[in-house]
Amino acid sequence: MAKNVVKKIKLQIEAGKATPAPPVGTVLGPAGINLQEFCSKYNEATRDKMGDVLPVEISIYDDRSFDFVVKTPPCAFLIKKYAKVSKGSTNGSKAPVGKLTKDQVREIAEIKLPDLNAYDVESAMKIVEGTALNMGITVE
């Protein structure tokens, strides 16, 4: 008999640093799953991407078991990482705060391609460029 999904929860947690303390504990505690088990499985699955913020989609079943899918890092996080800035511009493209090269945009697009609504890298690059411009990061 197939398990019924009771709840789906989406979180963004730093890779390899999930703990049962807030914010993870406060979101997953009421769902009734074993927090320590989730944290150890998540940390093991994301150990190779330490330092990145990774979205995770957790499916909780009626018998309180769970499984999760780790997604690629958010586009804005990757843009800030590659442009070496701490945050985007408050005025968007009117006040640039950093620069990216076309090669860096291609790298980000290749990383994000599985999670983007695009069929090829060129389309994904346009999505990444649009996000970068809205963050005040110019593309050369």
- pTM (whole model) above 0.85: no
Domain final residue pick, 70, 86, 121: 70
Q: CATH number, domain at 61?
A: 3.30.1550.10
Question: What gap in Å lies between CA 78 and CA 82, rounded to an integer?
Answer: 6
Q: Which residue has the higher pLDDT, 90 or 43?
A: 43
H or E, element range at 10: strand 5-14
Domain count, the chain: 2
Same domain, 40 and 79: no
**Would you place residue 52 in the very low, low, confident or very high pLDDT band (cuts 50, 70, 90)?**
confident
Q: What is the average pLDDT across 23-40?
A: 82
pLDDT digits over 68-89, tens only? 888 888 888 888 888 888 877 7
Q: How far apart are CA 59 and CA 35, in angstroms?
A: 14
